[in-house]
Amino acid sequence: MPRVTDTRPPAEPSSEGQKARYQRIIEVASELGSQHDFDSLQMQDVATGAEVAIATLYRYFPSKVHLLVAVMRAQVDRVDRARVSPKEGQSPAEAASELLIGLTVHMHSQRRLSLSGIQAMIFAESLENPDRERIKVAFSDIILRLANWNTDPTDDQRRRAWLLTQCWFGVLMQVLNGSRSRPMADADIRRACELLLSGG
């Protein structure tokens, strides 16, 4: 297990210069994370690639776990900002299937980075990690929006969105570790969307 004993909260960038450095770190970590697995990814290499001092890197990301979870959050935020919604004539289940299958394809194409990010998410369960919490909230919000449940959703609708997220995550893990074929995974995702997003 990686060292995550430093539980101080990560600093938030405020100035434009800080935000630019933060974004550069995320981009370099994504690139290096696509080339190295979790254990071999080195914080010093990320700092060097992003042209920041190692102290600056640790200021924003107290551990490799924090860094990789932030990379995952950046990807989820891009999806959230796109404000995806059902196309004309498309049911919520079809819209959610299209999105989740597309994400599966994308994450499988960056298998090493995806596995490292998921590993970091698991390790982050023992931390107070705002990025991890943001990922959970954003993903639920995306599913609720695709189901047209984003206006005052009921507890049951929130539960369904959470269950679909958990189901997709499980299928994704099977695809990434090679124990589930892509066609089977696609069918699994479509069926889960049909079961959980039908009705109100």
Percent of the chain with pLDDT over 90: 72
Length of the chain as a residue count: 200
Q: Which of 24-38, 58-72, 77-91, 134-148 has the lowest mean pLDDT?
A: 77-91
**Band (1; pLDDT cuts 50, 70, 90):** very low
Inside any domain, residue 109: yes
The arithmetic mean of pLDDT across residues 70-94, rounded, is 88
Q: Which residues of 119-141 are buried (b: 16+ CB within 10 A; e: fewer)?
A: bbbebbeebebebbebbeebbbe
Domain that holds residue 148: 64-197
The answer to whether the predicted template modeling score (pTM) of the entire model surpasses 0.95 is no
pLDDT tens for 134-189 read: 898 898 999 999 999 988 999 999 999 999 999 999 999 999 999 999 999 999 99
Instruction: Domain count for the chain, please give it.
Output: 1
Whether 7 maps to a domain, the answer reads no
In a domain, 96, yes or no: yes
Per-residue model confidence (pLDDT) at position 85: 80
Asked whether residue 38 is domain-assigned, the answer is: no
89 domain-assigned? yes
One-letter amino acid of 34: S
CA 144 vs CA 42, 113, 153, 158: distances in Å: 37, 27, 8, 7
Percent of the chain residues past pLDDT 70, beyond the cut? 95
pLDDT of residue 190: 97
What's the CATH code of the domain at 129?
A: 1.10.357.10
Closest CA to 8 of 123, 128, 121: 128
